[in-house]
Structure 1
Amino acid sequence: MSAQESAIRKASVRLVPFLCLLYFISYLDRVNIGFAALQMNADVGISAAAYGLGASMFFVGYLLFEVPSNLVMEKVGARRWLARIMITWGLASVAMMFVVGEKSLYAIRFLLGVAEAGFFPAVIVHLSHWFPRANRARVTGLFFIAVPLSSVLGAPVSTALLDYTHGFGGLQGWQWMFLLEGLPAVLIGISCLWYLVDRPAEAKWLTPQEARSLQDVLDREKAETEAQRKYHFLEVFTHPRVVILALVLLLTVSGSYGVGFWMPQIIKLFTTSNMAVGWITSGIYLLSVLGMIGLTRYSDATGQRVAPVAISTAVGGIGFLLCMSHFDSPMIAITGLAIACMGTFSALPVFWTNPSTFLTGTAAAVAIAFINSAAQLSGIAVPWFIGLSREATGGFEMAIGGLGLSLFLASAAILCFKMLGGAAAAAAASRSAKIAP
C-alpha cells in the first residue's frame, strides 16, 4: 500500500464516520418536527398551513446566512466553524420544546436555520481538502448516507419518545423528543474542536510521508483546475454552470423536503399507530441508503458524474407519480414513496462532486454555499405549499404530483449542465484557451 493510499484509508476511517455523525444529528434535528407534529400541532393549536410555514421558516434563516457563514469558514477553518454551528443549532433545537403557538414556532425554526447555516457546504469543502477526485463521490456518498440513516434510526426513536415519555415530568412527548435529540449536537460540537483537522499537513495521526503524499496530490489537482481557469468568487453568482447546478439542486431537494417534513403525516393516513409510522418510515429510508451506496460506487467506477444524477432523479419522479396515482391503495402508495425517496436521495452525493470539477478555493466554497442556499428556496416553499394544498384539497395527491414534476425537471436540467460543459470544452479547443470544461 502506497503512502497516499494509506493516508486516504486513515482519513476515511477517522473523518467520514465522525462527519456522518454530525450530519445524522443535523438532519434529525431539522426534520424531527415532522414527528413532533403528530402531537404538537393538536397540543398547541397549530393548523396544517401554519405547521408548513413553521417548517419553512428554518430555510429562511438558513438561506440568509448560508454564504456569509461559508466565507467565515474559509477564514477560520472548518474545525472551529463546525464546532460553533453544532453547538448553536443544538441549543436552538432544544428550544423547540418551548413552542406554545404559531409565532414561537416561526421564531425558533428561523433561529435554528440561522444556527445551522453553512454546515453542509463547510463539510463538502472540508472533504475536498482531504480526498482526491477519484475518491470523492464514494466518500461524499458515505457522508450523505447520514441523511436517510437519520430517519432509518431516528424515525422509530422519535415516535418511541412521543409515546413513552408523554407526560413524564410534566412534559409532553414531543417536548422530550426535542430535548433529548437536541442535546447531542451541543456535546458533539464541543468535540469537533479537538477531533477535526483542517488539512492533511496538520494531521498528527498521519505519518510525515503519508501527510506529504496526500497533500501533494490535493495541491496538484487544485493547480490543474486553476490552470484551466481560476474564478474570482464574485463570478460564481453569474456562472451559467453554477446557476444550472443551483436549479438542479433546488428541484431535487424539493422531493427530499417534501417527504422529510410530511411523510409521517402521509403514512399516518394508512395506520393509527405512531410506532408503525416510525418503522415504515425507517424501512423506506433504508432503501435510500442502499441506493446511495450503489450509485456512488457506480459513479466512481465509471467516472460518470451527470448521467447517474439524471437517471436517479427521473426514477424519483416516477415514484412520486406512482404514489399520487394509487393513493387509495396503501401498499402501492407507500411503495411509490419508497422509490421516490431512493431516487431523490441517491442523486445527491453524486451531484455534489460536480462543482469541484471546475472550481477551487474560495470560488468553490462560495459556489457550494450559493448552490446550497439557492436550493433552500424549495425548503421555504415546499412544506408550506404542501400544507396549503392539504387544507385546500383535503389530501396530498396534488402536492405529491408536484414533487414528481420537480424531479423530472431536475433530470432535464442536469443534462443541460453537461451540455454547457461540452460547449465550454469545444470553445477552449477551438481557440486554444484554458477554460473550465
Structure 2
Amino acid sequence: MSATEQIAPLYTASAAGTEDSVYRKVSWRLLPFLGVLWILAWLDRVNIGFAKLQMLDALRFSEAVYGLGAGIFFLGYFLFEVPSNMLLQKIGAKKTVMRITIGWGVICMLQSLVTTPTQFYVLRFLLGAFEAGFYPGVILYLTYWYPSERRARAFGTFMSASAIAGVLGGPIAGWIMTSMAGVNGMHGWQWLFVLEGIPSVLAGVVAFFYMTDRPEQARWLNTEEKRVIREGLERDNLALGERGTDWRTLFRNPKVWLLIAIFFCLLCANSTLTFWIPTIIKDVGFTTPVAIGWIAALAYLCGAVGMIANGAHSDRRKEVRWHFSAPAICGALAMGTLALLMDIGSLSPVFALLAMTVALAGTMSAIPVFWQLPNRFLAGGAAAVGVALINSVSNLAGFGAPYLMGLVKNATGRIAPGLYLVAAIELLAAILVLIGIAATVHTMKSRKTQEA
C-alpha cells in the first residue's frame, strides 16, 4: 500500500471542521500561557538594553563591556540547551519549564547587585544557562500537539510573544527606571531587574500545575478530541515519510548544519536589533527612557503582527521557502538603509526609525517559519536533540553580534559599520534557504512521488 493510500482513511476519519474545533481548543489552552512565559523570558533577557542607558554611567562600564555581557548570555544558552531538551523528553515539559522559569527569574533579580564587569559576565552567563531549553523545549513541545500543516501558525503565535514583550517592555522599563530611581537608595536600573524577575519565579510555580505534558494526558480533552489529535499526528508522520530518528547521526548530517547556518545568520540580525534598538533610538535623537521605550514598543508591535500574519499565511499556502526568505530580505535591506541613514551627516529621525521598524518586523517574521524546516528532516529523538542543537549553536550569533557592535561603537563612535555587516549576513540567510533548502525539499518530494 502506498503512503497516499495509507493516509486517506486517517484523514477522512475526522472532518476538517471537527479538527479545526479541536485545535482551537488546544491553542487557547496552550498558547496564551506559553506566550506569557516567553514574554517574561524575553523581558528578563533583553531588559539589559534599557538598563544600559543608566547602568553604564553608574558602574563606569564601557560599550565593549556591555556588548560582551549582553552576548555572553548565549554562551550559557549554547552549553545547556541540548541537555535541557534531552531532559524534557525524560521528565516532561511542565517540570522542565518550572525549573527553567524559576531559575532565570532569580538570576534576573540578582543582576541588581552587580558592581563589577566580572559579576556582570557571570550573572549574564547564568541567565543564559537557566533559560537554555525553554525556547527549543516549547518548539519540541508543540510538535507533540500540532501536525506540520498547523505548526507555523502555532509557532508564530507563540513567538510573537517576544514582540509583545518588546511592546510592553519598553514603556515598562522606561516607567520603572524613571519613577523608581532613588527608592530605598537603589537606582532605576536596579529596580528594573528586581521587578521584572519576580513574576518569572511565580510563573514557574504555576507552570507545574497548569501544563500538560502530552495530549493523551490532558484531562481537559475528551476521548474523541484526543483521537482527532492522535490521527492528525499519525497522518502527518506518514505524509512526511522516513526521517532521521537517531540523534547520534545529527553531527554528520549536512542538512542539520545547513539549518544551523541559516538560523545563525538570521539571529545575527535579530540579536543586534534586540540589544541595540534602545541605543539606535537614542542616537537618532530621543534621550529619555520613556520616549525610547514607547518608540521601541511601536517597532515591536509591527514585529508581532508580522510574525503572526506570516506564519498563518505560510500555513494556508503550505509554503515555507519564500515565507522565510522574503521577510529576511526585507529586513536585511531595511537594516542596510538604517546604516546608510545613520552614516549621513543630516539624519532624518522619521526615516531612520521607519527603517529600524521594517528591519525588526522583517527579521522577526521569518523566525516562526524557519521552525517548519527541521521537522521535514528529523523525527523522534533526533528532532528533540536536533531542534536544541540548531537553536543552541545558532544562538552563538547572539554572543558574537552584540559584542561586535560594542567593539565597533568603541572603535569608531558609530554603529553603522556593524549594521552594514549584519545586513549582509541576514541576506545570506535568505540565499541559503532559496538555494540549499529548495534542492533538499525537491529531493524529498521526488522520493515520495516514487514511493506512491
Q: Same fold (TM over 0.5)?
A: yes
The residue aligned with 2:365 is 346
Task: Give the 5 Å matches for 1:236-251.
Answer: 236-251=250-265
The farther-off stretch of 307-316 and 1-10 is 1-10
The residue aligned with 1:66 is 81
The reply to whether residue 146 of structure 1 matches residue 161 of structure 2 is: yes
The residue aligned with 1:235 is 249
Superposed CA deviations along residues 131-190 of structure 1, whole A, max 9, x for unmatched, are: 122211111110011011101011110111011000001111111110010111111111
Per the normalisation by structure 2, the TM-score is 0.92
The residue aligned with 1:89 is 104
Letter of the 2:337 partner, please give it.
L
Structure 2 Cα separation of the partners of residues 215 and 325 of structure 1: 52
Give how far 1:230 is off. 3.6
The reply to whether residue 365 of structure 1 matches residue 384 of structure 2 is: yes
2:118 to 103, 106, 109: 103
Give how far 1:272 is off. 2.3
Contact 1:3 1:209 (C-alpha < 8 Å) held by counterparts: no
2:350 to 327, 331, 338: 331
Structure 1 Cα separation of the partners of residues 131 and 305 of structure 2: 27
Superposed CA deviations along residues 12-44 of structure 1, whole A, max 9, x for unmatched, are: 111100010011111111110000001111111
1:285 to 300, 305, 310: 300
Structure 2 Cα separation of the partners of residues 274 and 263 of structure 1: 12
Distance 1:394 1:238, change over 3 A: same
Contact 1:322 1:332 (C-alpha < 8 Å) held by counterparts: no
Contact 2:155 2:368 (C-alpha < 8 Å) held by counterparts: yes
Task: Give the 5 Å matches for 1:168-187.
Answer: 168-187=183-202
Letter of the 2:353 partner, please give it.
I
Contact 1:231 1:359 (C-alpha < 8 Å) held by counterparts: yes
1:395 to 405, 408, 414: 414
1:264 to 262, 278, 283: 278
Structure 1 Cα separation of the partners of residues 239 and 380 of structure 2: 12
Contact 1:389 1:398 (C-alpha < 8 Å) held by counterparts: yes
Cα root mean square deviation, aligned: 1.6
Superposed CA deviations along residues 311-362 of structure 1, whole A, max 9, x for unmatched, are: 1100001110111111122221111111100110000011111111221111
Letter of the 2:211 partner, please give it.
L
The residue aligned with 1:252 is 266
The farther-off stretch of 367-376 and 321-330 is 321-330
Contact 1:244 1:416 (C-alpha < 8 Å) held by counterparts: no
Distance 1:132 1:429, change over 3 A: closer
2:181 to 155, 163, 166: 166
The farther-off stretch of 95-104 and 229-238 is 229-238
Distance 1:121 1:422, change over 3 A: closer
The residue aligned with 2:214 is 199
Contact 2:277 2:296 (C-alpha < 8 Å) held by counterparts: yes
Structure 1 residue matching 2:255: 3-state secondary structure: helix
The residue aligned with 2:315 is 300
Give how far 1:101 is off. 1.5
Letter of the 1:215 partner, please give it.
R
The reply to whether residue 128 of structure 1 matches residue 155 of structure 2 is: no
Letter of the 2:91 partner, please give it.
V
Structure 2 Cα separation of the partners of residues 336 and 169 of structure 1: 41
Structure 2 Cα separation of the partners of residues 54 and 248 of structure 1: 25
Give how far 1:223 is off. 4.8
- Counting aligned pairs with the same residue, the percent is 37
Superposed CA deviations along residues 218-263 of structure 1, whole A, max 9, x for unmatched, are: 13423554x4234311112222221111111111111111011111
Give how far 1:271 is off. 1.5
Give how far 1:422 is off. 3.9
Give how far 1:397 is off. 0.7
The residue aligned with 1:156 is 171
2:432 to 394, 408, 413: 413
The residue aligned with 1:385 is 404
Contact 1:245 1:417 (C-alpha < 8 Å) held by counterparts: no
Structure 1 Cα separation of the partners of residues 207 and 102 of structure 2: 10
The farther-off stretch of 20-29 and 353-362 is 353-362
Letter of the 1:260 partner, please give it.
T
Structure 2 Cα separation of the partners of residues 304 and 433 of structure 1: 22
Contact 2:173 2:289 (C-alpha < 8 Å) held by counterparts: no
Contact 1:70 1:118 (C-alpha < 8 Å) held by counterparts: yes
Structure 2 Cα separation of the partners of residues 95 and 127 of structure 1: 32
The residue aligned with 1:57 is 72
Letter of the 2:252 partner, please give it.
T
**Structure 2 residues without counterparts, runs of 5 or longer:** 1-14
Give how far 1:406 is off. 1.2
Structure 2 Cα separation of the partners of residues 84 and 263 of structure 1: 30
Contact 1:45 1:101 (C-alpha < 8 Å) held by counterparts: no
Contact 2:152 2:311 (C-alpha < 8 Å) held by counterparts: yes
Structure 2 Cα separation of the partners of residues 120 and 272 of structure 1: 33
The farther-off stretch of 303-312 and 237-246 is 237-246
Contact 1:27 1:147 (C-alpha < 8 Å) held by counterparts: yes
Distance 1:345 1:135, change over 3 A: same
